[in-house]
Amino acid sequence: MKYKNVFSLMQETTERNSEKTSLGIKTNYGWSELTYKGLGYLSRRLACYFIYDMKLEKGEKVAILSESKPEYGACFFAGVLAGLTSVPLDNKLTIYELESILSNCEPSVLLASGANYEKALTLKSKIPSIKQVIFMDRISNTKEFQDLYSIPENYEGKWRRRSLDSTALIIYTSGTTGSPKGVEITYKNILSQVRDLQLVLNEMIPKGKQMRILSILPINHLFELTVGFFTFLDQGFSIYYAKSLKPKDIAEVMQEKGVTFMISVPAFLKLLKTTIESEVSKRNAFDKLVFKIKYKIAKFSPFFFRRFLFRGVRKYFGLDFFGCISGGAPLDYKVGKFFETIGIRIYQGYGLSEASPVVSMNRGKYQDLKSVGTLLDSFEAKIDESTGELILKGPSVMKGYYKRPDLTQDVITEDGWLHTGDIAQIDKRGLVYITGRIKNMIVLSGGKKVFPEEVEAVLEKNPNFAEICVTGASKSGGEKDGAEEIVLVVVPKKEYAENFADKKALEGAVANEVKTMSKRLAHYKRPVKIIVTETPLPRTATNKVKRKEVKSMVMSDSVK
């Protein structure tokens, strides 16, 4: 189905699935759910408040600070109806990081969940552009702020249409502690993704199957917004959120709601694999032998027979569960193969925020767990002959970086080709293989992306450090084998180093300084390994640190 605009998408989807559950979450008090009709009503109520009570003008910005929950959907759709631009925020960021982002985009409204109450109030006091904070939950302890359920019950208004080239979302991917870098996603970008992913889902999902989705990724991530929210709602699916990412809580939701499909990151799949293997290891010798025999047989069996063989194991997820999309980080082949063997499909994909974000997906006739699949229909691609970089063109390519035409020109050519920064190969079947990265981005095991520059922007302010360099280093062994971790290389000032009796004492002092300054960073951005050296870092003729050389030194343990 093709839509001329987001309004027709919202209207037709709501009418088709009126009484069906759209979004739900398991809380300590039971299930909290919104039907498609209820989601529509709540969205219109908030949109009317924006337009008629707050008098917001078309194009003003509304920031959203919340964990994944049903009301999040109403907040975004209200912004669309009111002609506003939404700025989803990572609620794990610190006040320091959020202040940098909000100072850049200057939102008029901050929508926040009750869990972020104190953080929201602090941000309002720091950001002059924020006219009002509106909470998603019922706030009973104050009359100063409105919430979604206390604003006037007005549901009819004159909705504001915007052009397809207008900015619908600003997604901040980096620079949260230095110069913020927000990716502008247009309505055309969103509709292009929805159309492409409709075709992808047709190749993944059995015809006529009732789809109940488990969502475990933060909804502020563009991957989750585009696939796990827009596309799945467009298809009329029911989307459920868990109260935590503990395997026990996840399994509980999957069994209770009969979850059929989910979007995940490789780290979570690895955790599930470990959990299953741990349960099997607790069984008696005979049961463990039976599992091994079944596993060997399954490797050479049709997929439907694998599901039959491992019916008992799949009860852990619920027998309706048949597969998931994996993205955000490279999938460990062994993990993917494990799930395929026990009868659960794994569709690995690839993308980047600048492409809105999905670029390719494993599906259809040709599939390879070592590949990220074939390109979505609307993309053109080519490989730079000199660098091997994957370059893309299509209606999903972002509008640009907000307020940063200089950075936009660095990645998008005049004729619309996007430089991904990833090194890739495309075989004769059209399968894409990502073999490396040109850019400096560090991809953690859970799919979180960290840019060295934004970590350095905080730590380089330490007056005792002469030089620093942040890089990623791959771990070996254990559950996070192959995943990257954040490593900081520090060259302390000579006069500072002379205050310590030996290198061990110096390393301890540097570690304490880094720990203190890192409190300005989200937990996942903090260095997990600190290397102290008195040797100057390698630099180019223009005095830039040679990051590749530093990374090679770290990987080879040659930094002294």
pLDDT tens profile 404-430: 999 999 999 999 999 999 989 999 999
Q: What pLDDT, on the 0 to 100 scale, is given for residue 175?
A: 45
Low-confidence ranges of the chain (pLDDT < 50): 1, 175
Q: In a 10 Å sphere around its CB, with 0-12 CB exposed, 13-18 middle and 19+ buried, how is residue 378 labelled?
A: middle
Cα–Cα distance, 160 to 60 (Å, whole number): 12
Assign 239 to helix, strand or coil.
strand
| Burial call 327-336: b when 16+ CB within 10 Å, e when fewer | bbbbbbeebb
Q: How confident is the model over 451-471, as pLDDT tens digits?
A: 888 899 899 999 999 999 999
pLDDT at 453: 84
**Is the CB of residue 423 less than 8 Å from the CB of residue 386?**
no
- What is the distance between the alpha carbons of residues 485 and 475, in angstroms, rounded to a whole number? 7
- Kindly list the distances between the CA atom of residue 7 and the CA atoms of 14, 162, 202, 375, in Å, as whole numbers in the listed order: 11, 10, 23, 27
Q: What are phi and psi of 471, to 5 degrees?
A: -145, 170
- Domain annotation for the chain: domains and CATH numbers: 6-162 (3.40.50.12780), 205-343 (3.40.50.980), 442-555 (3.30.300.30)
- How far is residue 356's CA from residue 222's CA, in Å, rounded to a whole number? 7
Global confidence as pTM: 0.86
CA max distance for the chain? 74
The pLDDT, as a whole number, for residue 478 is 59
Q: What is the pLDDT of residues 474-517, one digit of tens each?
A: 866 655 566 789 999 999 999 999 999 999 999 999 999 999 99
Q: Report pLDDT for 243.
A: 81
What gap in Å lies between CA 131 and CA 102, rounded to an integer? 13
